[in-house]
Amino acid sequence: MVRLITNADDFGLTGGVNRAIEELNQTGLLTSATLMARALATDNACAVALRTPSLGVGCHVVLVDGEPVLRTEKLPTLVDQKTGRFTPTLGKFLGRLVSGRIKSSEIEAEAAAQMELLRMRGLKLTHVDTHKHTHMFRGVLEPLLRAAKAQGVVAIRNPFEPAWSAASTQGAPFVRRIQVALMRRLLPGFLKRVKAAGLKTTDGALGVLATGTLDAVTVRTLMDALEKNAPADSTWELVTHPGYFDGDLAQAQTRLLTSREVERVALLTLKEFPQFRLIHFGLL
C-alpha cells in the first residue's frame, strides 16, 4: 500500500493557520505539520501540538523572511544587522548563499537553535524541513543535516516533485513550473547526502508546484496520479498550506492569503482516496 504524509507548513504563523491544522487533523486527513520556532502564533501552535498526539510535528526551519532565534550579532552573514531579520526574499538569499557570503556555521547554529527551542517546549520532532524549501540547495542542506543529527531529528523532507506529479498540476504559473523542473536536477545529490547523514526521507513531494493553487480539483488529480505512478511500497508527502484568512494572516509576510482557505477545504477531498495509508514522518 502506498503511504502518504499529509503535511501542513507554517504551523505557528497565525492562530487561524493553527486552527485549520488542528481541525484537519481531527478529521484524520492531515497527519503532519511543521512548526515555526519564532512566529506570531508559535506559543499557540505548541499548545495545539502537545494536546494533539496524532499530529506528527516537525520543525519548519526559517532562514528567509523571518526573525532568528539566536541573537543577531551571532549571525552576521545570515541576518541583516540593521533590521534584525533574515533576507526578505528567496532570490536575494540564494544570491548570497551561492556567492559564499553566508557562513555555513551560522546556518547550522540557527537551525539547531530553532529545533532546540521547540524541543524545550516539550515537542518530540518527527522531522525537519525549511521555509521556501531552501534545503534543496547544498549550502543549506549540509549544515541542516548536521543540526538535525545533533538535535536527534531523524527525518527530513524530500522537497523534489516528480515529473508525473507536476504534469498533473493545473493552473500553476509557467515560470514556477520551469523552476520546479530545473530544481529536480538536484535530487540525486540531495538523496546521497541525506543517506550519508543517516536520516530518513520520502520518495518525493506532491503539491510543491501547486502552492497557492491547491484546490479540490488539483488534490484529486494529484491523488489519481499518485495511484497510477507510485510503486506499491513507496512513501510520498503532500505539501500543503491550509489556514483561515483572518486579520493576522492579512498582515503576515506571506503571499499565501486567500489560497489557504481554498486549501483547507480542498484537503477534505482526501477522504475519497482510502487506498492510501496516511502516516506522519515519525512512522517512516
CATH of the domain at 79: 3.20.20.370
- Residue 146 pLDDT exceeds 80: yes
- Residue 7 pLDDT exceeds 80: yes
Total domains, the chain: 1
pLDDT score at 172: 83
pLDDT score at 79: 97
Q: What are phi and psi of 4, to 5 degrees?
A: -135, 125
Q: What is the mean pLDDT of the chain?
A: 94
Average pLDDT on 118-133 reads: 97
203-242 residue pLDDT tens: 999 999 998 889 999 999 999 999 999 999 999 999 999 9
Q: Is 127 exposed, middle or buried (0-12, 13-18, 19+ CB in 10 A)?
A: buried
For cell 493552473, name the residue: 171
Average pLDDT on 27-39 reads: 97
Query: Which band of pLDDT confidence, cut at 50, 70 and 90, is reported for residue 173?
Result: confident
Q: Which of 88-92, 236-240, 269-273 has the lowest mean pLDDT?
A: 88-92
- Which residue range is the domain that position 84 belongs to? 3-283
pLDDT score at 251: 66
pLDDT score at 203: 98
- Residue 115 pLDDT exceeds 90: yes
